[in-house]
Amino acid sequence: MEERTLRVEDADGNEHDYEILFTFTSEKTKRSYVVFKEPGDSEEIYAYIYDEKDTDGGKLMPIESDEEWDEVEEKIEAYLDDNEG
C-alpha cells in the first residue's frame, strides 16, 4: 500500500486503484482494517480486514461478523462527521 492509494487486483487480474480514507486497529479484535473508496466523487465506501503480515505485500479479507461491522460502521460514521463539507 502506498500512502493514500490501495491497488487491488480483481478476479480477472485487472488492477484498480482506490483512495484510502483511513485505517485503524481494533482493540476488541486486534485486527487491522482499511476503509477506502474509488478516486474522485464516488460515495461508495469499502472496508476490509487488512493483514499486513501476508507475504504478498498485504491481504484484504472480508469482514464477516456483525460485531466487526458494527465497529467499522461506527468508525466510518465518525470519519464522515469529521470530514463533512
1-20 pLDDT, tens per residue? Answer: 446 899 888 889 999 999 99
Q: What is the DSSP string of 32-76?
A: EEEEEE-SSS---EEEEEEETTSTTS-EEE----HHHHHHHHHHH
Residue 34 has pLDDT above 90, yes or no: yes
Residue 70 has pLDDT above 80, yes or no: yes
Residue 27 structural domain: 5-82
pTM summary value: 0.85
The pLDDT of 43-61, averaged and rounded, is 83
Count of structural domains within the chain: 1
